[in-house]
Structure 1
Amino acid sequence: NVMLSETYEPTSQMTNGDSLIKANGQAFELTSRGTGVVTLSLPTYVDLIGLNTTESKGWVLQGVIQEIELGTGKVVFEWKSLDHIPLNETFATLATDGDGKSPATAFNYLDVNSVSLTTFHGDNFLVSGHNTHTIYFINRTTSNVDWRLNGKASSFSLSDAAKFHYQHDVHFLGKDENDIMLISLFNNDANSHTKVSPQSAGLTLVLDINQMTATLKKRYAAPTPGISSPTGGNLQQLSNGNYFIGWGAASPFFTEFLPNGTVVMHVEYAPLNATTGGSPSITRSAWNGRPQDEPLIAGLASGSGNNQSTTYYASWNGATEVAAWQFHAVDLIGGTPKPTVMETVQRTGFETQWIVKGKRDMGFAEAVDWEGKVLGETDWVNVVAA
């Protein structure tokens, strides 16, 4: 796990504290105490008690949570699922989620895909088990599972609307003085071979710790019907109180909602089909990227005679403050390159183009922000034939 500055240069790096345990790439969260919390996976040879198999032993992929100091790499907390969660809580099968015959095909009985820090009765963790349909409250002091939400061994009574399956991205959102907790999660309601309902959704749930009941506060469904995400997906509470959803690895969409469920933004950045994927997680945050690399430009001449033209293409990978490009066509006059035509073109995405009449010799461009301030300038490049 690598942290980058606004120039995209590494500022710190965190590695897990055991080379035999592999980060599963599903969750990483920074804390206010200078540590990072990461989810990992560890193939372990164990008794297959509680599973529908004739084999007495096999390889199981257990989930691991580590909290690691950023500066030193020291592991200050470690939790392993097989010490606390039995195999019979799983909804996975040896036929679909690893046959358990080798470390490479270890049975993924839990699939820890999310960890969230809480301030509920101390600094503790909410951990999501994808294949058990359960959220676990992990006591950081004792490492015990203090309670389970949903699944086969739920500590709570859940309303039907509050139930979930194959979930991702659980977050602790807060609590009141009466121990009423608010959490959020992305309810996939599907995996790669099972679909519980036709549509995935974001959920906010109210947990009454005294009565041990869980009820739905709000369900956030995509404005495009039929979005079912077998893997990935996230629900983020924004600083303005809105909710932002990335619809998972199979759905190239993201949506922002008002707390009451009204859609204020919905983006479909690729068609929804069998060959187009989405992202496992999409978040919205304030970010000013200022790459150290200079912007780039290319110029291509095409046509002939009076129909000749030159097309310039400008881009600056990672520069988020560019609002427009000031393009300059350059001609050789008496052997000396001189800018002869200039036009400001609004940025149109990763790459912005400008077409000017005639075959030009060279060109360059300046990236400018919304106030017209020059942020960077490309090299002067020769125009080549298309």
Structure 2
Amino acid sequence: MKAYALQLSLAFSFLLGPCLADVQPYSNSAEYDKGDYGRWVTQTFLSSQVIAPVLNVRKPFTECDDGSYLFVAPRGGGVAKATPMILDAAGSLVWAAEQHYGNVYNLMVQEYHGEPYLTFWAGDDAVGGHGVGNYYMLDRHYELYRKLAGANGLGADLHCFTITAESTSLSTLYEKVEKDLSGVNQQRAKGWVWESIFQEVDIETGEVIFQWRASEHVNIAESYTVLNEATEKAPWDFFHINMIEKDAAGNYLVSSRHLRSVLYVSGTTGKVLWQLGGRGNSFEDLSGGAATRFIGQHDAHWGNADQSVITLFDNGADWGGDYEKGSTGMRVEVDLEKMTARLDLKLQHPDRIISASQGSYQTLPSGNILLGYGFNGAMAEFSPNGTLLCDAYFGPSSRFTQGDVQSYRDLKFNWTAFPKTTPNLVWVDGSLYVSWNGATEVKGWLFEDSYTSKQNWRQYDLAARAGFETKLSFGGGRPIRRYVRVVAMDHAGEHLGASLVLDLGSVATDWESEAAQLDAGAGSAGKTEQDEHHNTAHAEDGSAGDKDDQTSELRKEVEDIQMLLVLAFLALVSGLLVVWMAFSCRRRRNMFGWNSVPQDDEEVAMDKMELGSGEGGSFWQRLHPRLESAQGRLRDGVHRLLRPKSSRATDRDIGEGMRSDVELPDVH
């Protein structure tokens, strides 16, 4: 009941003046797609230094809102600083890394020893089709848990870092090696190649459990990539590994972009047991070639537990010049006994987006499929039968294929995080702006003010969280005290953390009460100093007793607000119910031919009005001012409720590091 009441109070918090400070996404904007707003459309915030993308929404992801978040890592020629980001279904920023890691790939949520972690690769991707860097694991506080390199002295590659059910990691790696190329070109006895490698590693110890090298198990002559000079400075990338997945049997599903094939590799011998697609295809294609023909594919996975389905993102293109009519998602049914393959589903964007590199295919718990278009800033969600449900761009479509805005994979995950930072609060031009980067559980903001920077906090306003940054405007002559802070609230009304104290200086308008309070306290200075010392000590120690008092006080005040708003809501519903019943009676009288004499002028007026008729508008015109009046009385009641009680003298400094050293210039 308490959680419901807070949700209801937040739903009515528009009465208190909060509003969305974020720039709203564009909707089917032709100007956006033409690039009129730039190659990388972003927004900045007043309370945070992070930058967020502004999407061009074709079909809103709010229609696909399953409670999860969108995970993207934009980079490219138009992106000034590559940053891993989390967005909500409305396109609002939830988290953006404040640390610059370099180019970032594969932001996702993975489980390790039963705990969720943010994982991604970051480093130098200018090597040529792959990269050298590190794998990062961040905990639910966005603090670094692990930073991992490749084993056996090899650099960690960007394509894949997967944590298995056995708490090991699978990763891709590349190494320059010299190989016999006579089977490819008889004029070239030897040449340098990029060896595609994958490793399974014990994350705790760094021990290599299994390592596989492509050149030792495949025929390099099956490559679709044209042999280049194959020198040590420019090795030939014949295989190009980009995904590994381990199954319950201990074997590995491996995707080779340049073989245009998905391979099934023995986890004991490394032998290739079969191939789907490519020159070495092992399957009879029951779809006339459609199930085994794909070009430059990415993100191949088993589509179900019984290993009868393989899913992948078919780029339909590569840098060699082979192009299909758009990149697609593919779901292929395979029969591993009969060795047959059949195309079960092909997902294509109506704009036929073509991505020559990168891309993702994710089967969601609902059965929906999310496609990320890699080299192009676009993502789309489809139903299990292939209907396009949601669709958004984070780069102009006219610039697709130019690489301005890329994201290697675009994925969806559930994520709950509690940053160890505090909410950011600033005062700009008569309004407060608040945000808390990465805090997923904040549903509302409790604004408080005080005459001092350490105690006697008065609950000034309650506002629903609105996007990444929430704005609270001040008007109507409401006095505000010199020191302000904001407390983050979850859906149950529990506090999550408080901002640093903001000193408004001469912007404050409530000064007379301060003087009166100081005068009243002059006669008991010793006791006040002792109490202040006691309260300060409790704030510094963070004792359990003081925290319980703070929580109890906060809960009581929030519950008071909730009760008032619930009663107001019930009164409004009751009034509308009475009106509906009156009209129902009138209709019944007309239906059965009843005749009655109106008892007063009000009933006469009611008899003249019919819902849905032209005169119905006049009724709502008369009702609207009454509703506004009721809202005004409700607002006044809330403000009276939020006034400090004279007996209250508690110190509710929440969180660590509270200070009042944020000064604003005087405003005259």
TM-score, normalised relative to structure 2: 0.50
Tell me the CA shift for residue 12 of structure 1.
Answer: 4.0
CA distance in 1: counterparts of 2:396 and 2:483, whole angstroms: 38
| Alignment-derived partner of residue 247 in structure 1 | 373
In terms of fraction of residues, the more helix-rich structure is 2
Query: Does residue 102 of structure 1 match 2:232?
Result: yes
Q: Does the aligned pair in 2 maintain the 1:299–1:382 contact within 8 Å?
A: no
CA distance in 1, matches of 2:186, 2:472: 65
CA deviation after TM superposition for structure 1 residue 150, in Å: 0.7
Pairing 1:313–2:433 present: yes
Q: What is the 5 A alignment of 1:92-171?
A: 92-95=225-228, 99-103=229-233, 105-119=234-248, 122-158=249-285, 159=287, 160-162=289-291, 163-171=293-301
Q: 1:36 aligns with which of 127, 144, 169?
A: 169
Partner Cα distance (2:462, 2:382) in 1: 39
Work out whether 1:228 is the aligned partner of 2:359. no
User: Hey, what does 2:474 align to over in structure 1?
Assistant: 356
**How far off is 1:183 after superposition?**
1.0
Q: Give 1:16's aligned amino acid.
A: G
> CA shift at 1:60, angstroms?
0.5
CA distance in 1, matches of 2:232, 2:302: 36
* Residues 1:52 and 1:369: Cα distance change in structure 2 (over 3 Å): farther
Name the CA shift for 1:129/1:56 in 2 (closer, same or farther; >3 Å): same
1:152-231 equivalence runs, <5 A: 152-158=279-285, 159=287, 160-162=289-291, 163-174=293-304, 176=306, 181-192=308-319, 194-222=321-349, 224-231=350-357
In structure 2, the residue matched to 1:56 is 189
Say if 1:300 and 1:312, in contact at 8 Å, map to a contact too. yes
Structure 2: state its 5+ residue gaps: 1-134, 505-663
* Deviation per residue, 1:224-248 (Å, 9 max, x gap): 4131122221111222322222221
Q: Which moved more, 1:59-68 or 1:30-39?
A: 30-39
Aligned pair partner of 2:215 in 43, 59, 82: 82
Cα distance in 2 for residues equivalent to 1:81 and 1:18: 17
Report the AA paired with residue 258 of structure 1.
Answer: S
Which amino acid in the other structure matches residue 318 of structure 1? G
Alignment partner, residue 307 of structure 1: none
Shift of 1:133: 0.5
SS class of match (1:239): coil
How far apart are the structure 2 equivalents of 1:100 and 1:356?
68
Secondary structure of residue in 1 paired with 2:221: helix
Render the CA deviation track for 1:160-184: whole Å, top value 9, x for unaligned: 32121100011112365xxx72111
The letter for the 1-side match of 2:279 is K
CA gap of 1:331–1:260, structure 2 versus 1, over 3 A, is: same
Give me the whole-angstrom Cα distance separating, in 2, the residues matched to 1:221 and 1:240.
20
**Residues 216 and 297 (structure 1), Cα distance of their counterparts in 2 relative to 1, 3 Å cut:** same
The change in CA–CA distance for 1:108 and 1:342 in structure 2 (over 3 A counts) is same
Match of 1:260 in 2: 385
Please name the residue that 1:342 is paired with: 461
Equivalent residue runs for 1:250-289 within 5 Å: 250-272=375-397, 273=399, 274=402, 276-289=404-417
Say which one has the larger Rg. Answer: 2
Do the aligned partners of residues 316 and 57 (structure 1) sit closer, same or farther apart at CA in structure 2, a change above 3 Å counting? same
Cα distance in 1 between the residues matched to 2:434 and 2:187: 63
Q: Is the 8 A contact 2:335 2:341 kept in 1?
A: yes
Cα distance change of structure 1 residues 300 and 382 upon mapping to structure 2, 3 Å threshold? farther
**Matching residue's letter, 2:157:** N
Query: C-alpha distance in 2, partners of 1:209/1:69?
Result: 30
SS at match of 1:114: strand
Question: C-alpha distance in 1, partners of 2:264/2:443?
Answer: 46
How far, CA to CA, are the matches of 2:216 and 2:372 in structure 1? 33
Q: Is the counterpart of residue 299 in structure 1 residue 299 in structure 2?
A: no
Structural RMSD (CA): 2.8
In the aligned structure 1, how far is the partner of 2:144 from the partner of 2:426? 29
Relative to 1, partners in 2 of residues 1:208 and 1:275: Cα closer, same or farther, differing over 3 Å?
Answer: closer
1:25-47: CA deviations, max 9, x gaps?
A: 11121122231111111111122
Q: Is the 8 A contact 2:309 2:333 kept in 1?
A: yes
What letter corresponds to residue 297 of structure 2 in structure 1? Q
1:128 & 1:36 partners in 2: Cα distance? 17
Whole-Å separation in 1 of the counterparts to 2:435 and 2:373: 28
> How many angstroms apart in 1 are the aligned matches of 2:396 and 2:246?
35
Hey, which of these two has a bigger chunk of strand by percent?
1
Distance 1:381 1:106, change over 3 A: farther
